[in-house]
Amino acid sequence: MDLLRLAGAPGVGKSSTAWAISQQLAREGVRCGYVDIDQLGMCYPPPDDDPDRWALKERALAAVVAEFQRAGVDRLVVSGVALPGDPPDGIDGISVQSIWLDASEMTRRDRLGQRGASEGQLEQYLTAGTADAALVESSWERLSTDDRSLDETVDEVLPRWAPAAATSSRSARPLVSATAAAGPVLWVTGPRLAGASRIGWEIASGEWTAGRRTGFLDLAQLSFAWNNDRPVGLANLARVHGAFGDVGAGHFVVVAPLEISPSAARAALPNSQVTFVRLIASTADIHAHARLRQRGAGPALAGDDVLGSSDAAIGDVVRTSLAQSSLPLRDHEQRVDTRGLSLVDAVDAVRGEAGW
């Protein structure tokens, strides 16, 4: 399998470029996948010996790469942060092309400003990004995205990603266990736009604030693969869950599409006590959430088919959500009615029902 890794400071375009490349390959019929390494390190408080979670992310990445390969992926695109002063991590048996994207502070400021970052956040991101760029180890290939559109950046990156023979790497990290962790898992699901991601994130954040090492996993973000032999999401989830358990996480919050059944989740996490919560949202709440996401409220996530969509496309998503709302509860699911509740009250309702 050939792996392309795009790293760089916030605002250089690494995630947008990586996603665009994966979509182009998918349209061409290539057996491909995509993952953002930042999704592999949402575990806080961090380990004492790994305060920035660099090692955690790299070990989790090696583990999910193995799952993508088992699913028949030929080309995998990875975006996200990396430790600039170190050479790119290798993965045994995988051909890796690592590119560090650069951009001036002016370019990064403009791009981050379009995402709604505050002035304080902007200054923090810009200062850190400039410092990182000065430390990039020489074995990273570097490419500036200044004065380039997204399509132009893709056209610059793709020719640099030539298939090569896989080699063993002295920096390759050992795989994590897929079933090592056994702490309680809160599984939050519901119809499209019912708020599972927002509520799950708030619950995990509360655990982090309280100092309880907790992993947050977004199943949809671990499931991107096209033209392949089988789905990868649950297998990747099990691997990242194991990586978080290996560093001492005792609790886990998973947000997942309604299409994933409790039985499939239990099979993926056989050593864990999983509590399944299905959200019940009102039609008005679903419409309101759709409009907010359409305008870009909330985190920017890969594969978001609501962000910037037409009103007609939004209507289709809302109709899907309303159809899902009428589906009966499945075995082991607990119903939590969030209709008319504020986010804080909805979080409290889920925590109460789940015993968290």
Q: What is the pLDDT of residues 17-69, one digit of tens each?
A: 999 999 999 999 999 999 999 999 999 999 999 999 999 999 999 999 999 99
Answer whether the bond into residue 87 is a cis peptide, omega within 30°: no
Phi, psi values for residue 145, rounded to 5°: -105, 5
In this prediction, residue 81 carries a pLDDT of 87
In this prediction, residue 172 carries a pLDDT of 45
Q: How many CB atoms lie within 10 A of CB 154?
A: 19
Average pLDDT over residues 104-128: 88
Average pLDDT over residues 315-335: 93
Query: Mean pLDDT across the chain, nearest whole number?
Result: 92
% of the chain at pLDDT higher than 70? 95
306 pLDDT exceeds 80? Answer: yes
Tokens for 310, please give them. 């037409």
Q: How far apart (Å, rounded) are the C-alpha atoms in residues 157 and 268?
A: 36
Task: Please check whether residue 288 is in contact with residue 344, taking contact to mean a CB–CB distance below 8 angstroms.
Answer: no
Q: How far apart (Å, rounded) are the C-alpha atoms in residues 146 and 241?
A: 37
- Amino acid making up residue 9: A
Average pLDDT over residues 112-129: 86
Degrees, nearest 5: CA angle 135-136-141: 160
In this prediction, residue 297 carries a pLDDT of 80
Task: Please check whether residue 261 is in contact with residue 78, taking contact to mean a CB–CB distance below 8 angstroms.
Answer: no
In this prediction, residue 182 carries a pLDDT of 67
Average pLDDT over residues 243-267: 97
Average pLDDT over residues 237-259: 97
Handedness of CA 142, 146, 150, 156 (dihedral sign): negative
169 pLDDT exceeds 70? Answer: no
Helix (H) or strand (E) holding 63: helix 54-70
179 pLDDT exceeds 90? Answer: no
The total number of residues written for the chain in this structure? 356
First and final C-alpha spacing in the chain: 41
Which pLDDT tens digit goes with each residue over 194-209? 999 999 999 999 999 9
Average pLDDT over residues 183-188: 96
- More reliable by pLDDT, 313 or 79: 79
Average pLDDT over residues 125-151: 94
Reading across the β-sheet that carries 32-36, which strands appear in turn?
A: 141-144, 95-102, 2-8, 75-79, 32-36, 225-226
% of the chain at pLDDT higher than 90? 78
Task: Please check whether residue 86 is in contact with residue 52, taking contact to mean a CB–CB distance below 8 angstroms.
Answer: no
165 pLDDT exceeds 60? Answer: no
167 pLDDT exceeds 60? Answer: no
Q: pLDDT category, 10, cuts 50, 70, 90?
A: very high
In this prediction, residue 181 carries a pLDDT of 55
337 pLDDT exceeds 60? Answer: yes
Q: pLDDT category, 173, cuts 50, 70, 90?
A: very low
Q: pLDDT category, 171, cuts 50, 70, 90?
A: very low
Average pLDDT over residues 296-314: 86
Prediction pTM value: 0.92
Q: pLDDT category, 243, cuts 50, 70, 90?
A: very high
In this prediction, residue 300 carries a pLDDT of 79
The residues, any chain, with a CB within 8 Å of residue 101's CB and separated by 6 or more, are: 6, 7, 8, 12, 13, 14, 17, 142, 143, 144, 145, 153
Domains of the chain (ranges; CATH) run 2-160 (3.40.50.300), 185-354 (3.40.50.300)
For the chain, strand residue ranges (E) read 2-8, 32-36, 43-44, 75-79, 95-102, 141-144, 185-189, 214-218, 225-226, 251-255, 274-280, 333-337
